[in-house]
């Protein structure tokens, strides 16, 4: 199962989200920012990146343009969208997909408009960022996911622990510097070897308003030796939203049988609707986030 579809992986790697970042009015007045309502920062951020990696750039922008009186650490910077704090340990692409899927808090058209805060870090809703520097916290969170993914696939975390110290560092550093070749040089060592199947597929499913679903999902049907498709998995985990089989041909449309059943919900991955017939294990190899998880958001 080693084969990587490089053009697909490269395209996903280069995917970006256009962001419009505004300063929160309360923070602005508390920190004596001038003309803050005239300034929004426009940034294009890689979907595979993380918010703490743009914190210092955002801080500089508002300090320079609005004379924001903030001298604290980047660890105090946090972001929200429509009043909901954004989890900094989620990749930006996942945060964006989640917001787009949430009907009650739909983010509207792009650029994705989010708000930056410099005060009152919501410690009851967001994991604290280590005050020394925000980078080790996010690197730890990232490596923790990589190890969890390894454990799910192989039942041990020997693949990650078997990496040289330099390769372990390179995995994160290449994400920060956005170097596709350097990342894949290390990441390809973490995937399952040729002609073997992962024990379980590292997969997290996000339905707005519900706890995150993370279950041990096998990659193949032991009885038939056929790989499970995304539809198999979603119909099993979320039977209320996904049918076990695709709808029949057009001639059946309108029949009582199909009218009774609502259409499938939408599985969002990297900003697009994931085709439900694709084998899960192919998705996992080629379309996982750099933390080696598939993060799939359900739009109902």
Partner 1 sequence: MVPDGDSLSAKFQADALSYLETSRSSNNPWTLVNHCQIVKTIFNVVRVCREETQSGVLSQGEELAEEMHEEHDLGALPCSSRDQDVNVEFHVIYSQTWQVPVMYFSAWTASGSPLSLDELKAVIKGGLPEIDEQFRTEYGMPVVSQQDHPVLGVPFFTIHPCQTAALLKELTAKSNDPALTPLMSWMSVMGTVFHPLPLINLSYFQR
Three-state secondary structure call for residue 31? coil
Three-state secondary structure call for residue 246? coil
Identify each DSSP E strand in the chain by its residue range.
16-23, 40-46, 78-81, 84-85, 112-117, 203-206, 220-221, 226-227, 266-269, 272-273, 294-299
Q: How far is CA 106 from CA 40, 86, 143, 193, in A?
A: 20, 14, 31, 41
Three-state secondary structure call for residue 60? helix
Residue 24, CA atoms < 13 Å, CB-side half-sphere: 21
Using rule CB under 8 A, residue 169 touches partner 1: no
| Candidates 69-77, 91-99, 108-116, 120-128; binding stretch for partner 1 (CB under 8 A) | 120-128
Using rule CB under 8 A, residue 212 touches partner 1: yes
Using rule CB under 8 A, residue 118 touches partner 1: no
What is the closest distance, in whole angstroms, from the C-beta atom of residue 257 to partner 1 in the complex? Answer: 23
Using rule CB under 8 A, residue 211 touches partner 1: yes
Three-state secondary structure call for residue 95? helix
| Candidates 25-33, 35-43, 60-68, 217-225; binding stretch for partner 1 (CB under 8 A) | 217-225
Using rule CB under 8 A, residue 83 touches partner 1: no
Q: Which of 218, 243, 258, 265 forms a contact with partner 1 (CB under 8 A)?
A: 218
Q: Which of 46, 59, 87, 299 forms a contact with partner 1 (CB under 8 A)?
A: 87
Residues that bind partner 1 (CB under 8 A): 87, 89, 123-128, 130, 140, 143-144, 147-148, 151-152, 157, 161, 200, 211-212, 214-218, 221, 228, 232-233, 236-237
């Amino acid at each position: 199962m080693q084969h990587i579809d490089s053009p697909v992986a490269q395209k996903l790697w280069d995917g970006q989200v256009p962001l419009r970042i505004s300063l929160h009015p309360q923070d602005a007045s508390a920190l004596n920012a001038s003309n803050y309502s005239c300034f929004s920062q426009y940034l294009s951020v890689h979907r595979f990146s993380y918010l703490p990696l743009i914190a210092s750039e955002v801080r500089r922008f508002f300090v320079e343009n609005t004379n924001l009186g903030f001298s604290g650490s980047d660890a105090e910077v946090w972001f929200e969208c429509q009043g909901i704090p954004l989890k900094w340990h989620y990749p930006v692409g996942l945060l964006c997909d989640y917001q787009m899927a949430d009907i009650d808090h739909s983010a509207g058209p792009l650029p994705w408009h989010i708000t930056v805060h410099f005060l009152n870090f919501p410690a009851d809703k967001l994991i604290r960022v280590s005050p020394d520097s925000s980078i080790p916290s996010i690197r730890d969170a990232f490596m923790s996911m990589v190890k969890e993914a390894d454990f799910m696939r192989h039942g041990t975390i020997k693949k990650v622990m078997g990496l040289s110290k330099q390769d372990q560092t390179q995995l994160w550093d290449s994400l920060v510097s956005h170097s596709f070749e350097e990342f894949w040089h290390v990441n390809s060592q973490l995937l399952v070897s040729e002609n073997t199947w992962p024990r379980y597929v590292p997969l997290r499913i996000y339905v707005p308003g519900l706890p995150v679903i993370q279950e041990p999902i096998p990659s193949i049907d032991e009885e038939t030796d056929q790989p499970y498709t995304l539809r198999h998995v979603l119909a099993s985990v979320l039977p209320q939203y996904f049918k076990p089989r695709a709808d029949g041909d057009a001639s059946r449309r309108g029949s009582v049988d199909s009218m009774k059943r609502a259409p499938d919900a939408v599985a969002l991955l990297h900003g697009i609707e994931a085709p439900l017939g694709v084998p899960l294990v192919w998705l996992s190899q080629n379309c996982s986030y750099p933390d080696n998880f598939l993060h799939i958001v359900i739009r109902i």
